[in-house]
Every structure is written in structure tokens, then in C-alpha cells.
């Protein structure tokens, strides 16, 4: 239901004839404000979950990128280990020694995803003959292939494990652009380089791959930039089939992100296949990462998969919304009941007034019935509220096993706490309405109020230091309606405590002086004070000035105070003195009885 529709609904109730009954503007404002708060919390919860989910996706992406970089760095270390081995043998190495070195690497165990590790020699036309004689002493059928017109000659001399990579022995990597370009770049820069996309001759599946080079120089050379092309004797290299590299990186079923790798316009690896059961056709998140990788630019297209959606789908916002709407519904029901009760009471009052010609006593009885009905309605509303609280506790008990499990999501418990907070808020509102309905009720046979005893009781009830309340009075006691006077003092002192900002020790000054047949009482605190713009507003029903860090208020307390004072012919004001704080002043009768004063005011 839209807020605009709710507002229109209550506007219609407000415009109905008074004999039928209408809901007051403050009640409409209460419902609209409460519903707005519910929707705001719902939207905030959704935004928080979306933010946390985005952070989880970003973390998964970063982790995957780090894994790729770490794995390539590990393979680079293996290449440089081979370079060191060759240079330690004077810049060249035999087939037997290379095999012995390759065994120490334990490729399958320590370097998953690598196809092999080999040696490439850099030759020219003059050195090919001697090179072939040496190689054919190790392997009689060794030859260089394929023939090409490029001046560089870069045959693969050894590769281990040899059986799986036999098709690559003798392959001249200079015959093809991507292989040759990366080998020359590695030779000329002295750094490890990878080639552009290729298909390995030993890969029967003909899937995308690349070569990884690390240059080898004469052991006695300075390896300066200008002399590198001349000093280079070859390179240690490793061939990679991309899908094997990724499989050795992290199993796809253990990830909640799928990705593809592209080098320029060539796709090296792709997990975004509709035939994959874990693929999410409409991913929750997607991003692209440009990864600089040993002379190449890899574009990683990252998308969340079905596992990510399953792990990051939460019902908390829906629970918050449903719980909030339930409470709003209870409030609306209460207001409708009160509206109908008002209409019934008004019809009854009109009938009694017409019959008894506006007799004061009968009108008083009618008003008392109305107040009693408000009390009963507020009291009865506590039953469904307690039901909500009980149901919430049952849910919490049912979820005890879940809360104790490793997969516990703390947001569930937090949202149950929110529901209980809303229930407590509703309890406070109904209690306030009940207190307001009792305000002014005559309390017979009450002992007179002694100011010093009242101050002592307040300090005890609110657990205050003996210096927190300072009493200055020339009136020792008041016998007129001490019950409601005591409630007024409790409300004003309680507000001073509740809204004190803690910047200085709490000090409340209470003064009482006689003014004719009345007593003028003032309560001055040293808190943050009240902006003059709100001096009138704070006495209205359900109006509260919420300060950061202060406890939540129902906005009924000062309305009770104002009603009690005015019921006995008095007036209460609030001021903001120059010395700071808030100063509440009201007057209270010294003589007579509550009933007589109340009747005199009504008759006037």
C-alpha cells in the first residue's frame, strides 16, 4: 500500500461528519510517521544488505585476481630456477642434467596447471650446424621445424616431461609471430614474458594456450640492455593450456564467481556458458578487470554465479517490512476503534445533554466514560502486542540451533531485536495513552505532598546523587491533589535526566513560592535546553525532540503534565534562560479540593 493512499484514507475519515466519527490530525500524523519510519528501516536494511553483498563480490573478485597473479608468479619462479641452473653450468646444459633438474621441481605436485618446462636456444644460420650435431648426440632423430624465412632461429631443445611434450621437441618458436614476439621481448628486456594466444602443438584438443619465457645469458656477461640480444643464449620456457592452468588454480565448484579471460580479441578461457548448472543467466553483480600479465593485457570478465545468489539472498528486509506493517495495522485498528468510540460517546453525550439540558454533572460522567473507554482500549491493545512479542520469542527459540551454527547470519537475530524494539515502543505508546486517560482522576484520602520528602523520593527512584536536585522553597507542603502533583514532578525531573547531555554533572533546581491562593513551582535543569521554536510544540501529544544518544520518548509525558495543570485552572510554560538549560514553571492550587476546582473550571 502506498503512503499517498493511506493519507487519502485518513483524510476521508477526517472529513466525515462529526456525528459519524473522524480520526484526528495528530493520529493521522502518527500513522504516517510510523509507516514512514517502517519503510525507511526497510529501505535502509535493503541498502545495507546490498552494500555488504557488493563487498562480498568485490572480495571474491580481488581474491581470484590475486590467485591468478600468485600462480603466475609461482610459475615464474620455476622458470628463473631453470635459468639459474643453466647459468651455473656455464650458460648451457645437457639433456640428462635438464631432466635431473626437472625432477627436482616436482611439477605435477608443486606447479599444478603447468604443461612442462623446457629450454630454447637462440641460434643464427652459422650456429645451426654445430647445434644439431650436439643435439643428435643426445637424440639421433632431432631436427628443427618448421622452416621459415625469419632470421631468428629458436628451437626447443629439451622439455620435461618429455613423453607428454614430444611433439614440441625441435619446434622453432620463431616461425610464428606470437611465440617469436614474446621470446624476443624477453631476450631484449631481461624479464619474464608471456606470448599472445597460441595453440600448443602437443595439445590434441587444440585449445587456447600461451608460452612463458625467462631469458638466459652468458654467465660472464654484464647483461646490459644494449648487449642483451648478443649475450642471450636462449630461454627457459613453460607451455600452458589455459583451462588446465585455471583448473589447477581453484576448482570452479568452490568459487561463487565465474569469469572469462580474453587477450585482445581472443578468448582464452570462458565459464559463462548457459550449459553450466552453476551459471547465473542474470548475475547479481558483474565487473571487468584489466590485468597486466608479463607483457600482455588480460581482460577478466567477472560475474556472480548461482552459488553466490544462493548465499546472498536474505529475507530480513521482508521480515522487517511485514513486522512493521503488522504494527501499523494494529495502530490503525486502535485509531479506528477510538474514532468509533468517540463517535458513540459523542452521540451518547448529545442525547444526554439534550435530555438533561447540559447538566454539568452528567457531562462530567460522560467525559469520564470516554476516558475510561480510552484506557480500556489502550489496555486491550496490549494483548495483540504481547502476542507479537511472544511469537517473536518463539521464532528466536526455534532458531537457537541456527544461531549456534557456523553459518549463522547475525542479521537474523538483529532483525528479531528490531521487532522487539518496535513492540516495546508500542507498549510505551499504549501505556502513555492509559496514563493520559487517568490524568486528573481524583485521588481520595491522599496524604499531603511534602516537598523535601518528594525530592528525596525522586533521588531514590532515579538513583541520583544527593547533589543532583537542589530544593529552594518557602512552601513546605501541598495538600491539594498530591497524587497528580507528584506525577507532574516525576515527569519533569525524569525529562531533565533523560535529555541531559552529560557535559557537566546533572543539577536540577526546584523552587516553590506562594502566589495568592496558588503555589508557583519551577524546575530548572542544566541540560542542553530547548530551542524556543519548540516551546509550544513539546506539550502536544506524540511530540518529542529526539537528541543523539538520548532514550526514545513516546511524546506523551509533557502532554500529561499540561493536562493535569490546566485541569486545575493553572498554566505551564517553558523558557530558555541565559544561563542555559530548560526552565519549566507552573502553578498549583493551595486550597480547596480537586473536584471543586475542576467543576469550577468546567462551569466557567
State the average pLDDT over residues 268-292: 88
Instruction: Please report the pLDDT score of residue 545 as a whole number.
Output: 55
State the average pLDDT over residues 584-592: 87
Least reliable range by pLDDT among 54-63, 441-450, 490-499: 441-450
Instruction: Please report the pLDDT score of residue 394 as a whole number.
Output: 82
Query: Which residues pair with residue 60 across a beta bridge?
Result: none
Least reliable range by pLDDT among 22-31, 365-374, 535-544: 365-374
pLDDT tens by residue, 527-543: 988 888 888 888 876 55
Instruction: Please report the pLDDT score of residue 179 as a whole number.
Output: 96
Residue 377: closest CA among 347, 336, 334: 334
Q: Count, in order, helices (H) and strands (E) of the chain.
A: 17, 17
DSSP string, 365-412: HHHHHHHHHHHHHHHHHHHHHHHHHHHHHHHHHHTHHHHHSTT--HHH
Least reliable range by pLDDT among 210-219, 327-336, 437-446, 575-584: 437-446
Alpha-carbon span 367 to 444, nearest angstrom: 19
pLDDT tens by residue, 375-430: 555 555 656 777 787 778 888 887 887 778 887 888 877 788 778 766 765 665 56
Q: What kind of architecture, by CATH, is found in domain 449-603?
A: 2-Layer Sandwich (3.30)
Strand (E) or helix (H) holding 108: helix 107-110
Backbone angles phi and psi of 124, in degrees to 5: -130, 180
Instruction: Please report the pLDDT score of residue 193 as a whole number.
Output: 97
129-151: buried (b, 16+ CB within 10 Å) or exposed (e) per residue? Answer: eebbeebeeeeeebebeeeeeee
Name the more confident of 603 and 158.
158
Backbone angles phi and psi of 9, in degrees to 5: -60, -45
Backbone angles phi and psi of 318, in degrees to 5: -65, -40
State the average pLDDT over residues 213-237: 81
pLDDT tens by residue, 14-24: 555 544 456 67
Could you please state the CATH topology (level 3) that the domain comprising 89-248 is classified under. Answer: Beta-Lactamase (3.30.450)
Instruction: Please report the pLDDT score of residue 507 as a whole number.
Output: 94
State the average pLDDT over residues 33-55: 85
**Whole-number mean pLDDT of the chain?**
82
State the average pLDDT over residues 153-158: 96
State the average pLDDT over residues 104-112: 88
pLDDT tens by residue, 290-349: 999 999 999 999 999 988 888 887 667 778 778 878 887 887 887 788 778 777 877 887
> In the chain, pLDDT over 90 holds for what percent of residues?
39
Instruction: Please report the pLDDT score of residue 384 as a whole number.
Output: 76
What ranges do the domains of the chain cover?
3-53+314-438, 89-248, 251-311, 449-603
Cβ neighbours around 420 below 10 Å, total: 16
Instruction: Please report the pLDDT score of residue 602 as a whole number.
Output: 40
Statement: residue 236 has pLDDT above 70: yes
Instruction: Please report the pLDDT score of residue 531 as a whole number.
Output: 87
Across 65-154, the runs of DSSP E, i.e. the strands, are 117-121
Opening angle at CA 487, ends 550 and 546, nearest 5:
20
State the average pLDDT over residues 2-14: 55
Residue 349: closest CA among 366, 369, 324: 366
User: Cell numbers at residue 36, please?
Assistant: 514512514
Amino acid at each position: 500500500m502506498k503512503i499517498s493512499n493511506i493519507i487519502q484514507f485518513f483524510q476521508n475519515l477526517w472529513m466525515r461528519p462529526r456525528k459519524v466519527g473522524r480520526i484526528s490530525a495528530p493520529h493521522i500524523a502518527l500513522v504516517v510517521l510510523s509507516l514512514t519510519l517502517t519503510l525507511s528501516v526497510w529501505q535502509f536494511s535493503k541498502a545495507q544488505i546490498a552494500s555488504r553483498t557488493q563487498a562480498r563480490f568485490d572480495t571474491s573478485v580481488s581474491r581470484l585476481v590475486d590467485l591468478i597473479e600468485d600462480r603466475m608468479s609461482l610459475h615464474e619462479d620455476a622458470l628463473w630456477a631453470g635459468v639459474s641452473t643453466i647459468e651455473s653450468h656455464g650458460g648451457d646444459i645437457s639433456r640428462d642434467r635438464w631432466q635431473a633438474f626437472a625432477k627436482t621441481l616436482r611439477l605435477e605436485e608443486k606447479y599444478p596447471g603447468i604443461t612442462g618446462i623446457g629450454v630454447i636456444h637462440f641460434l643464427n644460420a652459422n650456429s645451426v650446424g654445430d647445434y644439431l650435431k650436439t643435439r643428435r648426440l643426445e637424440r639421433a632423430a632431432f631436427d628443427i621445424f618448421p622452416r621459415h624465412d625469419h632470421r631468428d632461429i629458436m628451437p626447443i631443445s629439451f622439455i620435461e616431461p618429455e613423453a607428454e611434450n614430444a611433439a614440441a621437441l625441435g619446434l622453432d618458436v620463431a616461425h610464428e609471430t606470437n611465440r617469436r614476439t614474446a621470446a624476443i621481448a624477453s631476450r631484449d628486456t631481461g624479464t619474464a614474458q608471456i606470448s599472445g594466444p597460441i595453440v600448443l602443438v602437443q595439445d590434441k584438443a587444440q585449445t587456447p594456450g600461451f608460452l612463458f619465457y625467462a631469458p638466459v645469458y652468458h654467465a660472464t656477461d654484464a647483461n646490459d640492455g644494449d648487449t642483451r640480444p648478443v649475450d642471450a643464449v636462449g630461454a627457459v620456457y613453460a607451455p600452458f593450456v589455459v583451462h588446465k592452468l585455471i583448473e589447477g588454480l581453484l576448482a570452479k565448484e568452490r568459487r561463487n564467481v565465474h569469469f572469462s579471460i580474453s587477450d585482445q580479441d581472443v578468448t582464452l578461457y570462458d565459464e559463462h556458458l548457459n550449459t553450466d548448472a552453476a551459471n547465473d543467466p542474470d548475475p547479481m553483480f558483474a565487473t571487468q578487470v584489466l590485468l597486466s600479465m608479463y607483457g600482455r593485457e588480460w581482460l577478466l570478465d567477472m560475474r556472480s554465479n548461482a552459488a553466490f545468489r544462493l548465499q546472498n539472498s536474505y529475507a530480513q528486509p521482508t521480515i522487517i517490512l511485514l513486522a512493521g506493517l503488522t504494527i501499523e495495522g494494529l495502530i490503525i485498528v486502535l485509531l479506528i476503534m477510538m474514532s468509533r468510540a468517540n463517535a458513540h460517546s459523542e452521540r451518547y453525550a448529545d442525547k444526554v445533554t439534550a435530555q438533561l439540558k447540559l447538566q454539568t454533572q452528567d457531562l462530567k460522567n460522560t467525559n469520564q466514560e470516554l476516558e475510561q473507554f480510552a484506557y480500556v482500549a489502550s489496555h486491550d491493545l496490549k494483548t495483540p502486542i504481547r502476542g507479537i512479542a511472544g511469537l517473536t520469542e518463539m521464532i528466536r527459540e526455534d532458531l537457537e540451533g541456527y544461531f549456534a551454527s557456523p553459518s549463522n547470519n547475525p542479521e537474523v537475530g538483529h532483525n528479531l531485536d528490531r521487532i522487539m524494539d518496535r513492540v516495546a515502543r508500542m507498549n510505551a505508546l499504549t501505556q502513555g495513552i492509559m496514563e493520559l486517560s487517568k490524568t486528573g482522576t481524583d485521588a481520595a484520602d491522599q496524604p499531603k505532598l511534602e516537598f523535601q520528602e518528594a525530592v528525596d523520593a525522586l533521588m531514590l527512584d532515579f538513583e541520583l546523587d544527593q547533589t543532583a536536585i537542589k530544593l529552594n522553597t518557602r512552601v513546605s507542603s501541598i495538600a491539594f491533589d498530591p497524587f497528580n502533583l507528584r506525577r507532574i514532578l516525576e515527569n519533569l525531573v525524569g525529562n531533565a535526566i533523560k535529555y541531559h547531555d552529560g557535559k557537566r554533572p546533572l543539577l536540577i533546581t526546584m523552587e516553590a513560592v506562594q502566589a495568592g491562593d496558588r503555589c508557583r513551582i519551577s524546575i530548572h535543569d542544566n541540560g542542553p535546553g530547548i530551542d524556543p521554536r519548540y516551546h509550544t510544540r513539546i506539550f502536544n501529544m506524540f511530540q518529542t525532540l529526539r537528541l543523539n544518544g538520548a532514550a526514545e520518548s513516546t511524546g506523551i509525558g509533557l502532554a500529561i503534565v499540561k493536562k493535569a495543570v490546566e485541569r486545575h485552572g493553572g498554566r505551564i510554560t517553558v523558557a530558555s534562560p541565559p544561563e542555559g538549560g530548560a526552565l519549566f514553571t507552573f502553578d498549583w492550587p493551595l486550597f480547596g479540593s480537586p473536584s471543586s476546582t475542576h467543576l469550577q473550571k468546567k462551569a466557567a
